[in-house]
Structure 1
């Protein structure tokens, strides 16, 4: 396989304003893996109707310690395997099925991290999502070339500090851009 030309791991994909898609419209996607096999990421600004406390109850993990944010919504992480849960978190712990996408950010796809959170000894900063976004080799690069996405360095402030509805505009502003002035037209020589 041909190596990828640009590694977008630990980057944000920020949907262009004109991207008119029910799943990806105004989405901010955290790319946790990008290699010769394709890319995978989690949408970090589209909350679902499911609250985290309800999810814990559904998988029979009662909140033994008071949860800091029991009303925190579970995010719609993407269209691929929407029945599977993922925890995007700050810090690296002893959990299984963890992919370290940077020195400080990881994605865990195992029940033990949810158990740790429910008992009060999991990561302090985390997002829980169902499903993920995935791209075949070359597909993401083609979408970027077609001006569907902007890319930027991921920010823990955007991930863990800002309200969901403020993340898209903040990610664009971090690039020094005003979304109202962005054009969807792509120039070709």
Structure 2
């Protein structure tokens, strides 16, 4: 099975990259998935510029076709996402809105980070966006409070609580991805 890890932050000097690097290492060590990384800063999707509704899958731009192929390959998705002003960031919303069918019946895990809340408000704000796309948000998440205090020389070094939260989420993602494999195949057909 393939796990897509999406780095949602596009800001210069972002902490999302070191956090994602740590999580990708955890996911690869878990061995339930082949891991693919999609960095929204590198993908550089413009504000949604497709003339047709994503449900139609009549994409005109190469960047959309490329993004569609990346998400289509995935059996599960993890968003590594910041909390900005009590919500998730615009680049993540834009990337999600580009597609429709590609998200269906895929379990989604969240690695959210921020200040005191650990990105919990951003995670909650994302729920109504993911639900109509038929994603399956897993119960276990990785919440990283005071993320800046865990970055040392550009490397994310989580405390024990954060470090221990990755495995339960990966376990649940693997279980749900396996259980919903036939749903994804039927939907693709």
TM range (shorter): under 0.3
Q: What TM-score, normalized to structure 1?
A: 0.23
Higher fraction of helix: 2
Tell me which protein shows more strand as a share of its residues: 1
Larger Rg: 1
TM-score after normalising by structure 2: 0.23
